[in-house]
Structure 1
Amino acid sequence: MTGEIIIAPSILAADFARLGEEIAAIDAAGADWIHCDIMDGHFVPNISFGADIVKAIRPATKKIFDVHLMIAPVDPYLEAFAKAGADVITIHAEAGPHLDRSLQAIRALGKKAGVSLCPSTSESALEYVLDRVDLVLVMTVNPGFGGQSFLASQLEKIARIRSMIGERPIRLEVDGGITRDNAAAVAAAGADTLVAGSAVFRGNSSADYAANIAAIRSAAEAGAARKLHDGSAPPVRTAERMLLR
C-alpha cells in the first residue's frame, strides 16, 4: 500500500464489457483497494452484480476486494461473498434487524467487517458495534446509482464518527460523489479511505486512471495534513498497521 490515504476505485463505473481488463488497469494505475458495489434492486433501486462476478474477477488482481453489500436480507449471502474472494465485507446498518449478529458472522468467516450508514442514518447506529468492526463506510450519496453529486451535509457526520472511533484501528471510508475537488474536505473531516467511481474511470487508459487516482490522493493527503496541522483530529494510524494482515 502507498500510505495512510487509501483510494478504492468502484468498479461500478468500469466498462463491464471488459471488466477484467479494467481491474488490471486500475491495479496498475495505483488503486489500493478494489471496491465492489453489490446492489439487489430491493434495498436500493438498482441491480449490479453478485458473488459469481466477484469470484470471476478475483484472479484479475491481488489487491484487497472491498465488497459493499447494498442488499437485504444480507445474512444469507455473507458466506457466498466470503468464498468468492471478498477481503472486507461491509453491510448496511439499515439492512437488517440484528447488526451485531451479522458483523459477528462476517468475522466468523475470516473476513474484515464493515458497517455502512446511509445519509439520513445517524452515527448513533454505530455506538454498540464499534468494537465489532474494522471499517465504517459513510455514504455521501443515497445508495443505488453511480455518478451522483456529493452531499456536503455528511462532512459533519464524518467528523463525529472520527471522534467516536478514537484510537480504535478502524478505517473510516467515504463513498459517493468523491472527486479531486472534494477529497481534501473529506479527508480533513477524518476519512482515510476514499471510494471513487466516475472520477477514476474517466479517460481511456491506465495512464488516465493513474492521473485521476493521483489527483484524488494528492487532494486527500493535503486535507489530512491540514487537519493534523490544525491539531483538531487524532493521528491517523499508518496503513501498514490498519490494513489487513
Structure 2
Amino acid sequence: MQKIICQLALAAISLGGFAQNFKVPETTEVWEPKPKLVVPAKTPGGAPSDAVILFDGSGLDAWQQTKDKAPAKWLVKDGAMIAKNGTGELRTKQEFGSFQLHVEFSTPLDSKKMGYPNGGNSGVFLHGKYEIQIFDSYNNEVPIYANGQAGSVYKQVIPMANSMLKPGEWNTYDIFFTAPKFRYNGSVETPAYVTVLMNGVLILNHFEIQGTIQYIGIPSYQYYSGKGPIALQEHGSEVSFRNIWIREL
C-alpha cells in the first residue's frame, strides 16, 4: 500500500502541473498511512512490544519435537534451553512468514575438544528449511569448511565476517528474513532473502537463499505456503539458547 501511494504521488508530480508543482512542498508529502506504534525494549536485546516471545527462560510451551510434534524434550536450566544429546530437533508450534528474529546462543566449553563435526554444532532453521549455522567458529580454531561455519547459510554462502565469541559466552543473532513467494504453478516468483547480524556485526547482507538446505547436492525450492516454523538443531553438542523472540513483518 505504501509503495502504491508513493507511486501515485510521483505520477502526480510528473503528469499534473509539471514544474509548477515543484514550487510547493506539499507535492511530495504523503500523510497516510502512519506507521504502527512499537514500544522498544528498555534493555539491549530485549523484545519490543509487538514481539512474540518464543523463549524467556521459563519453559518450552512455544516448542515441540520436530519429528513427532511431541512435547519438547530439551533441558531448561538457569534461564537457558539446552540441546541435550539425543533429544532431537525442536520447532515452534507457530508458523511465520517474513520476520525479524532474535536468538542468543552459547557453545559449550568442550567445543574445541569435540572438534569437527560436533564442536558447538547446531543451527537456526528459518521456516524449518533454511539454516543459519551455529558452530564453534571462535578465532577460526576448529577447522570446518568456510560455508559451514557459524553465520553461514549452510553450504550456500560464507559469512562476510567472523564475530563469534569464546565457548561459554553468549552470542546473538539478529536475523531479518523475507519469505519466498510462489506462482500458482509452483515455480518461484521471488526467492527468500536473509540479512544477519552476529553480535552486532553485519555478516550476511540481503543474501538470496538458493533453496532448502542440502548436506549433499544442490539446493532447490519446492512449493509451500511461504510460512513455516523456527527450528533449532540438536547435533551432538549441548548448545544453549536464551532470549528468543520474533516479530512477524
| Fold similarity call, TM over 0.5 | no
Larger strand percent: 2
| More helix by percentage | 1
Give the TM-score band, short-chain normalised.
under 0.3
Q: Which has the higher contact order (CA 8 A, sep 6+)?
A: 2
